[in-house]
Amino acid sequence: MVKININIGPIAANGASSKPKIHLNSATILRYLIADDEKVNDMIVLGVEGKDFMTTDKEIYEAIGSLANYDQFKPIKLAKLFEMVDVYPYRDLTHQRKPVLTHEKVEAIRLEALKKTQKSGEQRNNG
């Protein structure tokens, strides 16, 4: 299952929208970009009533850095992501530098992002 955090943090206090924020992590972003997950796709494309999406530049960097050559990545989905999601600088929110994206982190992101898709495919192949 892809984790989606709802965050009503300091961003609203800085003059941005006061609506609750749905934080998209790197695995959710990667799932949106390459998987055929209707729920995640509809959520990002259509939005969620009464809530805004947010993420950080670090989460997008990690998602894009986790793409594999064989993924069915469509750049138009990335454009839609930027239309629908407020992107905040990781450094401004955490006062830390972005960590280096390691192979281990990429594997963990891909495992989380594609977990449900792989299980669905296995069930179809076994059923």
Residue 88, Cβ density class (10 Å: 0-12 exposed, 13-18 middle, ≥19 buried): buried
pLDDT single digits (tens) 21-56: 999 999 999 999 999 899 999 999 999 999 999 999
> What distance in Å separates the CA atoms of residue 100 and residue 91, rounded to the nearest whole number?
13
Run of H or E including 34: helix 26-34
- Which pLDDT score, from 0 to 100, does residue 29 have? 97
Whether 127 shows a pLDDT value over 70: the answer reads no
Residue 27 or 122, more confident: 27
Mean predicted confidence (pLDDT) in 80-87: 96
Contact present, 28 and 113 (Cβ < 8 Å): yes
> What are the boundaries of each domain within the chain?
4-9+18-126
Contact present, 76 and 111 (Cβ < 8 Å): no
pLDDT single digits (tens) 55-77: 999 999 999 999 999 999 999 99
